[in-house]
Structure 1
């Protein structure tokens, strides 16, 4: 028995020493990427912007890459850009990206929050029109549908006040072309905007549901401290991340500043006669996972999210098991939005939101440049 105990202690000592050495080696490398699995995760930089803060990323079927720049800070220029030869080119043209305060924002981008490339050759642009996350500028919030083959705007969708009030900040979008519907989150007041892309009719649902509101008891921690505004208040960001299952039957969504995940059947959302109470009662609580900004499904039903608090990318499999596929405290500073390319890469924008002056006593802690990465799935 004595021999067994001595042997066990010796083995345990070797294991602990190996872990310690591995940790030291990891911290000594420039690339802090970690992964769980047989193949090490590699975050490959595909674009960097040394001047303007980006949030969204979209990869078209032919590989064209797009990003967007919200009008949050005084330093702002273009809103939507296509990346060509490593440079941002205003898209679809300079006129759409020429907005200045005081302009009519009906046919110009005001404060773009997201870009999404669909399966039919279109780029969808969500213009929240909330400069500095403020109220909607001159009723100019909208969704713009652009034909990627012609680079022409094909449709501009506007919303009545009953759908997007003055305090609404429409955030991310997912499109179901087969059924003719699109779904957006409202991160300011909490709720889901349902848009019939054929008729232009829209509806605001789940506004009274706890599922769209950030849990006030959750402490959203970044860099070892709870995220706090300059005035000392704690920001609570409501429904933000959104994703459609591959069969378009389920809409997944979650508040940003807590770890809960929900879904609802899209059949209920597409029927505008469905009572609000029935929609509220049909929400499925999937449990607690991570805090994330955006999220994206692959064709196999795996859901990818960013763990903001741990600078990680996670995968939730169809059986709701969660796996960390990459961690990088340097590169993944607020992994924001996601897009999956036809050749199997997950594109990730890093917006560094927690380093903005808003959350650092008016001090800008941004580490330039802002970057977009990709990760082979």
Structure 2
């Protein structure tokens, strides 16, 4: 009985320590996925070109819940019928991040309906936030083709390397930011492909997309604060992996050799994005239970935001130096393809973390 009481008290303490959250921005019309916050507090989000209605790819959010296309209207104007220059327009922005040097990086997954062969315009775009101008465009083609989907990204400013996930096929893309060289590793391996035996659920039912199992490969990605390890996982299973960045950047290793260096840390949760704080805690969502958790450096699970139906598909994460965790809520599982109706607006929220 005594042990039971102790367990109950510990569970209550864990729940009581969970934080509340504030709504930073909401949009009841256009579906957003990303969130990024500059050192000065500027807030940005992006809208993927998945379905109508669609207006802008990348925007800056003001304090009046209004948005303006960023870095300008021209980059956000691309004709889906006629096409155009894929290198000077956003086609289908999937993610936006701001690195520790206050530089913005935009992942454009392209637009396959207007692809020329395998080239659907997938690229990485670097934006100077002081000048609000595009500085450089890194084409991800031909390393990534029509079956690929560039998803999330982390930047190592010391090594001058960008790491992206390919959730279409399962793989890790490495971009040398000095030379522009793009290569892909761990392509279609068991660590970057979703476990087919895992059945993702919502409200006790299998999550089916147009009647078929919902499967998304390598998606969430996070770089340890000291840059030593890259953490990654598929969206539609609960396994978390990591690999040394020194190993990742060793071009002499073949796929088999690299695969032996990947560590499986355990089965934790289904999450979309994830992010580290400066203490080495890793923040993840729980898409099935609608909550936010964190893993301590000792891999202990702690609740940050408890189960709440308002936490509708936590998508992307950004942690500021003053201890705010920003999260985008994209309500993906409420799309019509899942046989559901959207129950609320798309949001960006934030919660204070210790």
Shift of 1:154: 0.5
Aligned length: 343
**Higher helix proportion (structure 1 or 2):** 1
2:38 aligned partner: 60
Q: Secondary structure at the match of 1:71?
A: coil
Alignment of 1:76 onto 2:54: yes
Q: Is the CA contact 2:154–2:223 (under 8 Å) kept in the aligned structure 1?
A: yes
Match of 2:26 among 48, 54, 61: 48
1:237 aligned partner: 216
Q: Distance in 2 between matches of 1:336 and 1:35?
A: 27
Q: Distance in 2 between matches of 1:61 and 1:276?
A: 38
Q: Distance in 2 between matches of 1:259 and 1:346?
A: 22
Shift of 1:183: 0.2
Distance 1:202 1:295, change over 3 A: same
Distance 1:115 1:310, change over 3 A: same
Alignment of 1:296 onto 2:275: yes
Q: Distance in 1 between matches of 2:101 and 2:298?
A: 29
1:209 aligned partner: 189
Distance 1:233 1:140, change over 3 A: same
Q: Distance in 2 between matches of 1:299 and 1:136?
A: 43
Q: Secondary structure at the match of 1:210?
A: coil
Q: Secondary structure at the match of 2:110?
A: coil
Shift of 1:342: 2.2
- Offset from partner CA, 1:51-71 (integer Å, 9 cap, x none): 100000011111111100000
Question: Structure 1: which 5+ runs fail to align?
Answer: 1-7, 20-33
- Offset from partner CA, 1:129-187 (integer Å, 9 cap, x none): 1469x9998431100000011101011000232x2121100100000011010100011
1:3 aligned partner: none
Alignment of 1:370 onto 2:327: no
2:312 aligned partner: 333
Shift of 1:209: 2.0
1:1-377 alignment, distance < 5 Å: 36=14, 38-85=16-63, 86-101=65-80, 102-104=82-84, 105-130=86-111, 138-161=119-142, 163-230=143-210, 232-360=211-339, 365-377=341-353
Q: Radius of gyration: which is bigger?
A: 1
Distance 1:369 1:131, change over 3 A: farther
Question: Structure 2: which 5+ runs fail to align?
Answer: none
Distance 1:135 1:228, change over 3 A: farther
Shift of 1:275: 2.1
Shift of 1:94: 0.3
Shift of 1:268: 1.6
Q: Secondary structure at the match of 2:258?
A: helix
Q: Secondary structure at the match of 1:214?
A: coil
Q: Distance in 1 between matches of 2:119 and 2:280?
A: 40
Report the RMSD for the aligned CA atoms in angstroms.
Answer: 2.2
TM, length-normalised to structure 2: 0.92
Q: Is the CA contact 1:195–1:201 (under 8 Å) kept in the aligned structure 2?
A: yes
Q: Is the CA contact 2:151–2:166 (under 8 Å) kept in the aligned structure 1?
A: yes
- Offset from partner CA, 1:115-135 (integer Å, 9 cap, x none): 000111211000001469x99
- Offset from partner CA, 1:220-252 (integer Å, 9 cap, x none): 00122111022x210211000000000111000
